[in-house]
Amino acid sequence: MSHNRIKFPAGFWAGLRHLGINASDVLRKAQLPLTMMTEPVVTAAQYFAIWQAYSDLVDDVSKGIIKLATGFEPAHYPPAVLAAYHARDYRDALKRMARYKQLCPPESLRITEEGEHCAIELEWLDDKQPGPPLLIGI
């Protein structure tokens, strides 16, 4: 899959509904057609526009992150994200998430361990178009 074509989880829209956010409001704010709700793959520009629109509607990056992290039903998570929740420990969860992110542009995680120190870096495949702050937080 091209780095400009990104799998978009269908559960995202159901999760927004669960949070009391209308998917059509997000798509209108993102200036995208309502048919995007049924698209399994989006462009990087569309992906970022959806996340930015959600962020704008929530109007608080911290609250938006907390709502997503605590309000989504686990059934709406992509299977690879669920794998991190079933890890043996935090290190195993990080490694599982880093492997998952290799398969899912537009971002990737790089984990560097030196002794007792661990650094986690988020890298964008297109460094000219970094993601919205809320997406970075997620």
**Total number of residues shown for the chain:** 138
pLDDT at 134 over 80: no
Q: What is the mean pLDDT of residues 2-10?
A: 72
pLDDT at 32 over 90: yes
Q: Are the CB atoms for 121 and 112 separated by under 8 Å?
A: yes
pTM above 0.95, yes or no: no
pLDDT at 80 over 80: no
pLDDT at 31 over 90: yes
d(CA 12, CA 99): 21
Please list, in sequence order, all residues whose beta carbon lies within 8 angstroms of the beta carbon of residue 93, skipping any fewer than 6 positions away: 84, 85, 87
Please give the pLDDT value at position 9.
77
Beta bridge partners of 123: 108
70: tokens are 């605590």
Q: How does pLDDT run across 55-65, given as a tens digit for each residue?
A: 898 888 888 77
- List the chain domain ranges: 5-137
Cα 83-3-92 angle, rounded to 5 deg: 20
Other C-beta atoms closer than 10 Å to the C-beta of 12 total: 20
pLDDT at 73 over 60: yes
Please give the pLDDT value at position 1.
44
Q: Are the CB atoms for 3 and 44 separated by under 8 Å?
A: yes
Q: Are the CB atoms for 6 and 106 separated by under 8 Å?
A: yes
Q: How does pLDDT run across 7-25, given as a tens digit for each residue?
A: 887 778 888 888 888 999 9
d(CA 95, CA 115): 17
